[in-house]
Amino acid sequence: MNLIVPGINGSGPEHWQTLWEAHDPGFLRVVQNDWDHPEFGAWMDRLQQALEANPGSWIVAHSLGCLLVVSRQVPVQPRGAFLVAPPDPAGPEFPSTAKSFADIAKTQLSFPSLVVASEDDPYASIAFAKASAAAWGSAFVSVGQKGHINGASGLGFWDEGYQLFKQFIS
pLDDT in tens, 45-97: 999 999 999 999 999 999 999 999 998 666 788 999 999 999 999 999 999 99
Average pLDDT in the 155-167 region? 98
- pLDDT band for 168, please (50, 70, 90 cuts): very high
Q: pTM (2 decimals)?
A: 0.97
Query: pLDDT tens digits, residue range 122-135?
Result: 999 999 999 999 99
pLDDT of 77: 87
Q: pLDDT tens-digit profile of 96-108? A: 999 999 888 788 9
**CA distances to 20, 115, 162 from 156, in Å:** 10, 20, 11
**Dihedral angle over CA of 154, 160, 131, 56, nearest 10:** 110
pLDDT digits 0-9 by tens, 16-28: 999 999 999 999 9
CATH number of 2-169: 3.40.50.1820
The average confidence (pLDDT) of the chain is 95
Query: SS in 3 state form for 51-80?
Result: HHHCCCCEEEEECHHHHHHHHCCCCCCCCE
